[in-house]
Amino acid sequence: MPNYRDERLGKLIQEKIGSLIVEGKIKDYRVDSFLTVTHVDVSKDLSYADILVSSYKPESGLERGVEGLQSAAGFIQAKLSGFLRMRQTPRLRFHVDTGPREAFALNRKIDGLVLPPDNG
C-alpha cells in the first residue's frame, strides 16, 4: 500500500530543490541551471531523502553537479526545514540519474531502425 505522505513530501522536496537550482541560490560553482531533480524517494521513517538528478550535459558535468549538490546539502536542508516545518528534516543524499539520457538514446536507436515494408 503506497504511503501518500511520503510521496507528497517527495514532490515538495523536488519542487523546492528545483527552484533553488533554477533561481541560482546554490552558490557552488558545480551546480548550474541545467540540473534537474527527476525523483525524490523519502524513507519510511522520514530520516533520509534520496534525490535523483539528471542533466543534458555530458556525464562528467552531471557527476560534478551532483557532487556540488551533495556539498551544499546542509544549506539545502536548512532551506527545506524552513519551508516544510517538520520536526526533523530528512537528510539529503543526491544520486546521478541516467534514466532520461538512456531513454533518449533508446528513442534515437528506435528512430534509426529501418522497418521492412508491409507486403500483406
pLDDT digits (tens, 9 = 90+) for 18-50: 999 999 999 999 998 889 999 999 998 889 999
Within 1-120, where are the H helices? 4-22, 59-71, 73-84, 99-112
What does the alpha-carbon distance between residue 21 and residue 66 come to, in Å, rounded to a whole number?
A: 12
| Three cell numbers written together for 55 | 542533466
Q: Which residues of the chain have pLDDT under 50?
A: 1
Residue 98, judged by CB atoms within 10 A of its CB (0-12, 13-18, 19+), counts as middle
What does the alpha-carbon distance between residue 72 and residue 70 come to, in Å, rounded to a whole number?
A: 5
For the whole model, what pTM was predicted?
0.80
Q: Which domains does the chain have, with CATH numbers?
A: 4-112 (3.30.300.20)
